[in-house]
Chain A
Amino acid sequence: MSATAPPRGNRLTDQFEAGLDAPICLTWELTYACNLACSHCLSSSGRRDPRELSTEQCKAIIDEFAAMQVFYVNIGGGEPTVRPDFWELVDHATTSGVGVKFSTNGYGITPEVAERLAGSDYVDVQISLDGATEAVNDAVRGVGSYRLALQAMGHLQAAGFRGFKISVVATRHNIPQLDDFQRLADDHDAQLRITRLRPSGRGADVWSDLHPLALQQRELYDWLVVNGDNVLTGDSFFHLSAYGESLPGLNLCGAGRVVCLIDPVGDVYACPFAIHDTFLAGNVIADGSFATVWRDSELFTELRSPQSGGACTSCEFYDSCRGGCMAAKFFTGLPLDGPDPECVRGFGEDALAERDAARPVPRPSADHSRPSRARPGLPRLPVLSAGPPQATAPAAGPPVKPCAEDPLAGFA
C-alpha cells in the first residue's frame, strides 16, 4: 500500500480504530426467517422474530444511512428475500443513494428478479455457497441448497449480471476446493468471496469440527497471497497476516469502529459475528436512532479506546494480527486480550487446551432455529424453491406467534 509507514498514531488504521462518525459499511440482518438451516449460521436463523422491524421503520433507518453517507449496506438474514417488502426496501435504499449488497441462498432469485438486478448499478448480490460440490456444500447448508444456489447463479449469469459474488465460508472440507470455487466464479462471470468461519450463532456448535486445520490455514493463506487480488475476503483473515505478508485489506478488527450489525429487531451489535448481549450497543428504536447508538453507545466508545493486547502485545506479529477476532475468542471461551483460537503460531490451540473447564463458554444470546432442527447440518425441512418476485406485496403482515415454526410465518 504505502511506501513508508508514518509514525504510529497517524496511520489510517489508527484513525479507524478510534472510530468514524459513520460506519464505512454495515451489515443488516433483515429477518431471522430462513428457508435453510445451515449448521454454521452466524445468526442462528430459522424462524422470524415477531418483533421484526416494520417496513416504515426500515425505511427510516435507510434514510438515516443516507444522511450519514453510509455508502452501502450489506443485507443478510436469515434469508432476506423472504421478506415481502424486501424489494421495496432495496428500491428505497438505492433511490436514496445507499447501495445494497445482499446475501442470499438463492431463494428469491428468479429469472425475472435477476433481470431487474442486472439493470441496477446500486445493487450487488452475494450467493452463499460453502462447497464447490453438492456433497460438500449440502453437508453444511442442507439438502437441495447447492442446486438452489447454482440455479440462482445461472439466472444471474443469463441476465447478464456480471461480477456478482459467490460467498464461501472457509471450512475444513472446502479448503481443498479453492481452485474449484475460482473456476465456478469464472464460469459464471462472478467474483469469489471467501470469509472466515466464526464460532458464532449455531457456528459455535460445529466450529470445532469445521474450522480449518492449522495446515489448511497455511494453504488458504498461500492461496490468497497468489490469487487474492481478485478475491474478496471481507478483511476476515487478518489473523493470518502473521504468516508474513499482509493480505489485501485493512487488516484490523472494525467492530464498532468502522462496521457494526443491525439485527431484525433493530438491536445494534459491534459486528455480525458478535450477536451476544456482551456486544449489544443499543437499539435503533429504543434509543431513538441508529446514529445515537453508533456515536454515543458506551460499548462502541469503549471499543474505540485503545485496546489491550494482553499477552499478545509481546508477540512480534502483534502489529499485523492485532490479536485476531474478538468474536472468535469470545465464543470459544478465550479471553479477549489473548490470542485468537486460530493464532497461526499455535498459541490459540494452547489457550483452548488450557481453558478452565469450570468456566462455561458463552452461548449466543438468542436462538431462532426451527425446533424441528434435529441435528445441526441436517435440516429436515425441504428447501423452498425460488418463488415469484414479491415487489408489490403488502408491507405489514399479520402478527405471528413467537413460536411459529414456519420460517415464512407472517409472510404469506
Chain B
Amino acid sequence: MEAPITSEPATAAPVTTGSSPAFDRRAPWRLHPGVAVRPEPFGALLYHYGTRRLTFVKDPTLLRVLQSLEGSSSVDAAMVAGEVPPESRTRYAAAIERLAATDMLLPYDAPTGTEHPKGHP
C-alpha cells in the first residue's frame, strides 16, 4: 500500500527545529499555524511557510483527518471523525506522525512561538 504522504525534497528546506515533540496519537494535535492547506482532487497540498516544505497528501481521507484534528481530543478521535477504517488506522497514524516530525503538526497546547523558520531566535 502506498504511503499517503510524500514530501517534496526538491522544494524543501531542512527542518530547522532541533527536536520534534514526542508523538502521541492519544493526544490532541493541530496543524502548525504556518501551514497552508490546498485541497486537490488527489488529496491536498500542504505548504509550510516556515520550513518551505511542500508535502503532497495523496489521499482525501488523510485530508479529512487533518481537517478533523482541530476539535478532536486525539489523533485517534480525528481518525474516527475522518472515517478511517479501523484496519487502516496504524497506517494513517504513521502518516500523521511523519507530518508531526516535519513540523507540519504541533501538539495542541504547544506554544506558537516556534515559528522561526529561518532559525532566528
Report which A residues bind B (CB closer than 8 A).
1-6, 12, 15, 20-22, 24-25, 69, 71-72, 97, 99, 118-119, 121-122, 124, 160-163, 191, 229-230, 232-235, 248-250
Determine the chain A residues whose CB is within 8 A of the CB of B38 once the complex forms. Answer: 22, 69, 71
Contact A6–B2 (Cβ < 8 Å) = yes
Contact B36–A71 (Cβ < 8 Å) = yes
Chain A CB within 8 A of B24 CB? no
Residue of A nearest to B10 (CB): A249
The minimal Cβ–Cβ distance linking B37 to chain A, given in whole angstroms, is: 9
Determine the chain B residues whose CB is within 8 A of the CB of A71 once the complex forms. Answer: 36, 38, 45, 47, 49, 54
Contact A97–B36 (Cβ < 8 Å) = yes
- C-alpha gap A1/B49 in the complex (Å): 22
Determine the chain B residues whose CB is within 8 A of the CB of A119 once the complex forms. Answer: 120
Determine the chain A residues whose CB is within 8 A of the CB of B98 once the complex forms. Answer: none
Report which B residues bind A (CB closer than 8 A).
1-3, 6, 8-11, 13-14, 16, 34, 36, 38, 40-42, 45, 47, 49-50, 52, 54, 56, 58, 115-120
Contact B14–A160 (Cβ < 8 Å) = no
Residue of A nearest to B116 (CB): A121
Determine the chain A residues whose CB is within 8 A of the CB of B116 once the complex forms. Answer: 121
Give me the 5 closest cross-chain CB pairs, A-B, nearest first: A249-B10, A71-B47, A248-B9, A69-B38, A2-B2
The minimal Cβ–Cβ distance linking B95 to chain A, given in whole angstroms, is: 12
Contact B47–A160 (Cβ < 8 Å) = no
* Given A4-B2, A162-B119, A230-B11 contact (CB < 8 Å): no
Contact A121–B8 (Cβ < 8 Å) = no
Determine the chain B residues whose CB is within 8 A of the CB of A72 once the complex forms. Answer: 47, 49, 52
The minimal Cβ–Cβ distance linking A12 to chain B, given in whole angstroms, is: 6
Determine the chain A residues whose CB is within 8 A of the CB of B56 once the complex forms. Answer: 12
The minimal Cβ–Cβ distance linking B7 to chain A, given in whole angstroms, is: 8
Instruction: Pick the contact of B54: A4, A12, A24, A162 (CB < 8 A).
Output: A24
Determine the chain A residues whose CB is within 8 A of the CB of B11 once the complex forms. Answer: 25, 232
Question: Could you give 9 example pairs across A and B, Cβ below 8 Å?
Answer: A20-B40, A72-B52, A97-B36, A99-B49, A118-B118, A121-B50, A121-B115, A122-B49, A162-B120
The minimal Cβ–Cβ distance linking A72 to chain B, given in whole angstroms, is: 7
Determine the chain A residues whose CB is within 8 A of the CB of B40 once the complex forms. Answer: 15, 20-21
- C-alpha gap A158/B69 in the complex (Å): 40
- C-alpha gap A69/B58 in the complex (Å): 18
* Given A122-B49, A232-B10, A235-B10, A3-B3 contact (CB < 8 Å): yes
Determine the chain A residues whose CB is within 8 A of the CB of B6 once the complex forms. Answer: 1-2, 12
Residue of A nearest to B48 (CB): A71
Determine the chain A residues whose CB is within 8 A of the CB of B52 once the complex forms. Answer: 72, 99, 124
Residue of A nearest to B47 (CB): A71
Instruction: Pick the contact of A121: B45, B47, B117 (CB < 8 A).
Output: B117
- C-alpha gap A248/B3 in the complex (Å): 17
The minimal Cβ–Cβ distance linking A366 to chain B, given in whole angstroms, is: 29
Residue of B nearest to A247 (CB): B10
Determine the chain A residues whose CB is within 8 A of the CB of B50 once the complex forms. Answer: 121
Given A121-B115, A191-B14, A249-B10, 14 more pairs with CB closer than 8 A: A5-B2, A12-B6, A69-B38, A71-B38, A71-B49, A72-B49, A99-B47, A121-B34, A160-B120, A162-B118, A191-B13, A233-B10, A248-B9, A250-B10
Determine the chain B residues whose CB is within 8 A of the CB of A3 once the complex forms. Answer: 1-3
Contact B47–A248 (Cβ < 8 Å) = no
Residue of B nearest to A121 (CB): B117
Contact B10–A163 (Cβ < 8 Å) = no
Residue of A nearest to B4 (CB): A2
- C-alpha gap A248/B13 in the complex (Å): 13
Residue of A nearest to B118 (CB): A162
Contact A248–B10 (Cβ < 8 Å) = yes
Determine the chain B residues whose CB is within 8 A of the CB of A248 once the complex forms. Answer: 9-10
Contact B41–A15 (Cβ < 8 Å) = yes
Q: Which has the most chain A C-beta neighbours within 10 Å: B1, B58, B115, B116?
A: B58
Contact A230–B49 (Cβ < 8 Å) = no
- C-alpha gap A160/B118 in the complex (Å): 9
Contact B9–A249 (Cβ < 8 Å) = yes
Contact A250–B49 (Cβ < 8 Å) = no
The minimal Cβ–Cβ distance linking A170 to chain B, given in whole angstroms, is: 15
Contact A229–B13 (Cβ < 8 Å) = no
Determine the chain B residues whose CB is within 8 A of the CB of A118 once the complex forms. Answer: 118, 120
- C-alpha gap A250/B6 in the complex (Å): 10
